[in-house]
Amino acid sequence: MGSGGDAEHVAKITKYLGELGIPFEQRVASAHKTPQKLLGILKKHENDNIVYITVAGRSDALSAFTDFHSNVPVVACPPPPKPEDSLPAYLSSTVDTPSGVGVNFHKHPESAAIAAAKILGQKDESILKRLEAYKAKKASEVEDADTKLHSM
């Protein structure tokens, strides 16, 4: 998270990570205010099979900074903009990153967790199996809704 104010949005992401059986660690570090701390975190995990899911609003320097300074995949899932935020500037800071940066953007917490599961699953087949079960559950929910509608 870029700040403690992002915790509510992070809780939504970790809910889905939990449903997928993916362990996670939560940290707060700012690309603007604590860049050395952030670099230390990135260095510590440079050889781990992880995905960074970055959550930062407004300028979201966290996502691009994290991506550029690590070889770990980065999934940006910024919190919804506040009323005082300019939507074009808000989205641009995450979606329109500088050259040499390859951040993956997902608006919804569930989508960010699924993207992380797909990436991690490339090295851990058990994660892919849990993801397949999750997707089957989601498909079943649609089928159940259709059955219920047609039985009325």
Predicted TM-score (pTM) of this structure = 0.90
Number of domains in the chain: 1
Confidence of residue 25 (pLDDT cuts 50, 70, 90): very high
Confidence of residue 55 (pLDDT cuts 50, 70, 90): very high
Residue 90: predicted pLDDT? 64
Question: CATH code at 117?
Answer: 3.40.50.1970
Q: What residues are paired with 101 via a beta bridge?
A: none
Q: What percent of the chain has pLDDT over 70?
A: 96
Residue 67: predicted pLDDT? 96
Nearest-angstrom CA–CA distance, 98 and 37: 22
Quote the domain boundaries for residue 72: 4-150
3-state secondary structure of 52: strand
* 83-138 residue pLDDT tens: 777 666 667 777 888 899 999 999 999 999 999 999 999 999 999 999 999 999 99
Residue 103: predicted pLDDT? 94
Q: What tokens were used for 103?
A: 């951040």
